[in-house]
């Protein structure tokens, strides 16, 4: 059984003393015990009496994790310059805490795993970040009315909201910023603006870089290359990366007001990305109908 670490990827060992110890060997030893490739574990913090490891793999097999504390401590003890005591322990705040589990009560342990997973997923799903986009806002040419509106709406619906920096009109910069938001454990990542058909609009394409199967229905279609339209239409995008949902909303404030409340309703209902995107596109398409 594969266990998703749900962004809780650190474990630390207490009551450990080091003397010219090789950190790479220590990380490799932890990786071997957990059944991971050696480059999937790194040492991220060394203190006088404890050391912290970070797991860069998103999932670990249950059988390679549960009850492995003694084996992990022994593997570290065998490395030159690593000294443990009888009080040495392994700790973690998430799923990795199962390394300390006693296998005699598997049913209770698995129930606790499900509880931990549910609690973490619920917490992460309520962490949102809102990114305004575009040259006009970046240069202060126009007022950003979307971000405060979205922040207020989301907070009224139980989200913890962070306002991100303005993302420039650059597809690859935007992709990198959205990817970073995913890695920081935000369950909802919103952008406003950049969904049009001009050469400066990159929001939908950036989500597709992160989720190739993102739902990107058209709001309106154009003849490609006609006037300012370098793309064949205007789309919205809804992607899913792990437990993070990424949604591109339009730039005009009235369109944000038209779609955002329905978006929140669909998210609360646990709707799939395809349904969310289809509903948002339908609302906006009605506005564009002659």
Query: The domain 126-288: what is its CATH number?
Result: 3.40.980.10
Question: What sign does the CA torsion over 189, 194, 200, 204 have?
Answer: positive
pLDDT in tens, 146-161: 999 999 999 999 999 9
How high does pLDDT run on average in the chain? 84
Tens-digit pLDDT profile for residues 71-114: 888 999 999 999 999 888 887 766 555 666 555 455 565 566 56
Please give the pLDDT value at position 152: 97
Tens of pLDDT, residues 257-271:
999 999 999 999 999
Domains in the chain: boundaries? 2-122, 126-288
**The pLDDT of residue 290:** 60
User: Which is higher by pLDDT, 118 or 56?
Assistant: 56
Residues 179-184 have a mean pLDDT of 89
Output the CA–CA distances (angstroms, integers) from residue 14 to 68, 159, 285, in the order listed: 16, 35, 58
| All residues at 6 or more sequence positions from 62 whose CB lies less than 8 Å from its CB, including other chains | 1, 2, 3, 98
Q: Tokens 């789309």, residue?
A: 235
For 61, phi then psi, to 5°, come to -70, 135
Task: Please report which confidence band the pLDDT of residue 118 belongs to, taking 50, 70 and 90 as the band edges.
Answer: low
Q: Which residue has the tokens 């006693």?
A: 102
């Amino acid at each position: 059984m594969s266990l998703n670490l749900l962004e809780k990827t650190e474990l630390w060992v207490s009551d450990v003393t080091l003397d010219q110890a090789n950190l790479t060997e220590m990380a490799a030893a932890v990786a071997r015990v957990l059944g991971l490739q050696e480059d999937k574990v790194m040492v991220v913090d060394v203190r006088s009496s404890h050391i912290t490891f970070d797991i860069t793999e998103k999932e670990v097999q249950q059988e390679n994790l549960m009850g492995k504390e003694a084996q992990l401590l022994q593997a570290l003890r065998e490395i030159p310059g690593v000294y443990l005591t009888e009080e040495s322990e392994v700790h973690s705040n998430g799923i990795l805490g199962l390394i300390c589990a006693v296998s005699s009560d598997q049913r209770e342990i698995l129930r606790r795993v499900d509880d931990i997973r549910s609690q973490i997923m619920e917490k992460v799903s309520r962490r949102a970040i809102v990114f305004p986009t575009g040259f006009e806002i970046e240069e202060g040419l126009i007022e950003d009315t979307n971000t405060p509106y979205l922040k207020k709406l989301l907070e009224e619906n139980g989200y913890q909201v962070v306002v991100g920096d303005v993302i420039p009109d650059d597809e690859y910069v935007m992709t990198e910023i959205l990817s970073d938001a995913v890695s920081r454990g935000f369950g909802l990542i919103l952008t406003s603006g950049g969904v049009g058909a001009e050469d400066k609009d990159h929001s939908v394409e950036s989500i597709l870089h992160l989720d190739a199967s993102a739902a990107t229905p058209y709001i309106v279609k154009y003849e490609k290359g006609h006037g300012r339209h370098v793309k064949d239409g205007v789309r919205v995008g809804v992607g899913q990366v792990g437990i993070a949902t990424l949604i591109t909303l339009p730039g005009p404030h009235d369109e944000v007001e038209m779609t955002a409340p329905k978006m929140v309703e669909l998210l609360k209902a646990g709707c799939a990305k395809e349904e969310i995107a289809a509903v948002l596109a339908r609302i906006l398409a009605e506005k564009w109908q002659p």
